[in-house]
């Protein structure tokens, strides 16, 4: 106990010391980063300007190139909204727009990361073999959902549908945190942690205390977080500190002062795997606002889910995929080593099906959006959605419109207090259109909704990290769990109804009262939303 007490003191000292250091360093690192990026942009502009001195010949050439690029962009196999986001700058600024488009599309770094990501996904597929009997049972019950599983098996990362999986839903971050700590303390073999945001405070301090103890007990601990944290929440030396405790640590895509589209693809996943028997996912990161120990935007409404049993395999593989993409060498982990601990003795009371799945920006498959559309299109009575950001493409608008017009009860809960004013302004541009379609919109008046959940017809629910915006659906690494005829579905829908009581329903009158200037700004921002 004495050694653990010293560990606690060391952890708390490190956190308190670096809390102030981060605040001071944020400005220094951020300013230097953006200064470097700004200099590179100026250099690009200078190059374009220099070439523009040969105005007539150069302008004719660039105009022809821009026209050819617009033809190429409009015929590219990407979302139409993405096409619009590129066509506008190329058409309005043919010199700079064309040059910038070519610069972005031919970067070798991005291609290399994509190649490595696809290789890791292929490498883990043999450990997620679809059990045919389970798929047959689902086929007999729900052919549409079975079709989605076949798509997942072949194109969507190889994720199977499982039975023999228990689940527990958490309607608030503090509920999840309490149970997560209990499970961490019981770990015997390994702990995998992957989070988008890691910040100093009560939550991180408690987690590090447990991890330090587990390392001493011989438990393998791996800790991975997104490189955006280095810009704003933790110091560059944080991985070194974790390694000094015996914790293996990786940082995905650290932000560097270089123009690179690979830095636009963030690891937005939140995954915790314990001994291959327990997995957590949802919207909750390792920071105090997620458990309402720090107030930033009023009350923070977030959700998570714990799965136990066969479906943990998918989250174990997702973690190892990202870990091996981050590794500098070419030696991947032996995934099979971490699947042999999977618990396969769940009691019969856990009926229903579970699909744990991930989404990658490099596989040309928009798995997160496919799942959401499948739920909306197959709904018979209702679709209830909770999301912090509502930035919709044309396809999603159409499926929502069709659902509402055929009599489906479509309700969307979003935040009343937002963490991103630009995202909120874009979301407000949809409100009137959605209301006219028959979609009902609600804002959570106590504060900020960060939950990403779907529930439908009392038999389907999704809990995960995937927002309803371009960044989540097309640019980030994401994950979620889809439940069918599982006890988690009822818990998700109950939480939605409980939250609805605390919301304000948006009316046409609210839309008319909203600032016209902000509405115009939102419409302008929408054009570039896919590139943000």
User: Model pTM?
Assistant: 0.87
DSSP 89-118: HHHHSHHHHHHHHHHHHT-HHHHHHHHHHH
- Contact (Cβ atoms closer than 8 angstroms) between residue 369 and residue 462: no
**Domain residue extents for the chain:** 2-110, 112-137+158-353, 367-531
Fold match between domain 112-137+158-353 and domain 367-531 = yes
- Contact (Cβ atoms closer than 8 angstroms) between residue 384 and residue 411: yes
Residue 319 to residue 369: CA distance in whole angstroms:
21
How many residues in total does the chain contain? Answer: 532
The CATH homologous superfamily to which domain 367-531 belongs is Endonuclease Chain A (3.30.870.10)
Residue 285 to residue 173: CA distance in whole angstroms:
9
> pLDDT 10s per residue in the chain (532 long)?
344 456 666 666 566 656 555 544 444 444 544 555 565 566 666 666 666 566 566 667 777 877 787 787 777 776 676 676 677 777 776 666 676 676 666 666 777 888 888 888 888 888 999 999 999 999 999 999 999 999 999 999 999 999 999 999 999 999 999 999 999 999 999 999 999 999 999 999 999 999 999 999 999 999 999 988 887 788 888 999 999 999 999 999 887 655 555 567 899 999 999 999 999 999 999 999 999 999 999 999 999 999 999 999 999 999 999 998 876 544 456 666 777 666 555 554 568 999 999 999 888 899 999 999 999 999 999 999 999 999 998 899 999 999 999 999 999 999 999 999 999 999 999 999 999 999 999 999 999 999 999 999 999 999 999 999 988 998 899 999 999 999 999 999 999 999 999 999 999 999 999 999 999 999 888 877 766 5
At 328 the three-state DSSP class reads coil
Q: Which architecture, in CATH terms, is 112-137+158-353?
A: 2-Layer Sandwich (3.30)
- Residue 380 is classified by DSSP as S
Q: Work out the number of other CB atoms within 10 angstroms of the CB of residue 24.
A: 9
């Amino acid at each position: 106990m004495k050694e653990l007490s010293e560990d606690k003191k060391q952890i708390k000292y490190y956190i308190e010391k670096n809390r102030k250091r981060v605040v001071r360093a944020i400005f220094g690192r951020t300013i230097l980063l953006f200064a470097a990026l700004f200099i590179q942009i100026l250099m690009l502009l200078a190059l374009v300007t220099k070439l523009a001195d040969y105005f007539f010949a150069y302008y004719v050439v660039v105009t022809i190139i821009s026209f050819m690029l617009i033809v190429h962009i409009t015929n590219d196999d990407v979302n139409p909204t993405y096409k619009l986001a590129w066509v506008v700058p190329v058409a309005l600024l043919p010199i700079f727009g064309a040059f910038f488009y070519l610069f972005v599309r031919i970067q070798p770094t991005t291609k290399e990361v994509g190649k490595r990501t696809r290789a890791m996904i292929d490498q883990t597929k043999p450990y997620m073999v679809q059990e045919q009997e389970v798929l047959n049972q689902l086929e007999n019950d729900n052919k549409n959902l079975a079709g989605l599983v076949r798509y997942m098996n072949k194109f969507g990362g190889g994720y199977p549908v499982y039975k023999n999986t228990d689940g527990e839903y958490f309607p608030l971050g503090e509920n999840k945190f309490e149970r997560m700590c209990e499970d961490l303390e019981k770990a015997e073999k390994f702990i995998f942690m992957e989070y988008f945001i890691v910040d100093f405070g009560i939550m991180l301090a408690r987690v590090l205390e447990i991890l330090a103890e587990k390392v001493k007990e011989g438990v393998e601990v791996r800790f991975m977080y997104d490189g955006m944290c280095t810009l704003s929440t933790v110091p560059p030396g944080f991985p070194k500190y974790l390694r000094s405790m015996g914790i293996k640590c990786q940082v995905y895509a650290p932000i560097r002062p270089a123009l690179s589209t690979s830095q636009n693809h963030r690891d937005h996943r939140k995954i915790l795997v314990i001994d291959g028997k327990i997995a957590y996912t949802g919207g909750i990161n390792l920071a105090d606002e997620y458990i309402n120990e720090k107030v930033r935007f009023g009350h923070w409404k977030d959700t998570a889910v714990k799965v136990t049993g066969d479906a943990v395999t998918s989250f174990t593989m997702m973690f190892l995929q990202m870990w091996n993409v981050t590794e500098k060498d070419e030696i991947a982990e032996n995934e099979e080593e971490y699947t042999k601990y999977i618990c396969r003795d769940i009691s019969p009371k856990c009926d229903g099906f579970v699909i744990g799945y991930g989404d990658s920006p490099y596989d040309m498959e928009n798995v997160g959006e496919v799942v959401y559309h499948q739920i909306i299109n197959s709904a018979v009575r209702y679709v209830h959605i909770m999301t912090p950001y509502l930035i919709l493409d044309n396809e999603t608008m159409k499926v929502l419109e069709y659902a509402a017009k055929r009599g489906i009860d479509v309700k969307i809960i979003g935040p009343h207090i937002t963490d991103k004013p630009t995202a909120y302004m874009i979301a407000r541009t949809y409100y009137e259109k959605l209301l006219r379609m028959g979609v009902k919109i609600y804002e959570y008046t106590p504060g900020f909704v960060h939950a990403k959940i779907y529930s439908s017809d009392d038999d389907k629910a999704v809990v995960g990290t995937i927002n309803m915006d371009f960044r989540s659906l097309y640019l980030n690494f994401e994950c979620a769990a889809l439940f069918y005829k599982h006890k988690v579905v009822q818990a998700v829908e109950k939480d939605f109804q409980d939250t609805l009581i605390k919301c304000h329903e948006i009316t046409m009158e609210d839309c008319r009262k909203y600032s016209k200037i902000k509405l115009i700004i939102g419409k302008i921002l929408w054009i570039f939303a896919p590139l943000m």
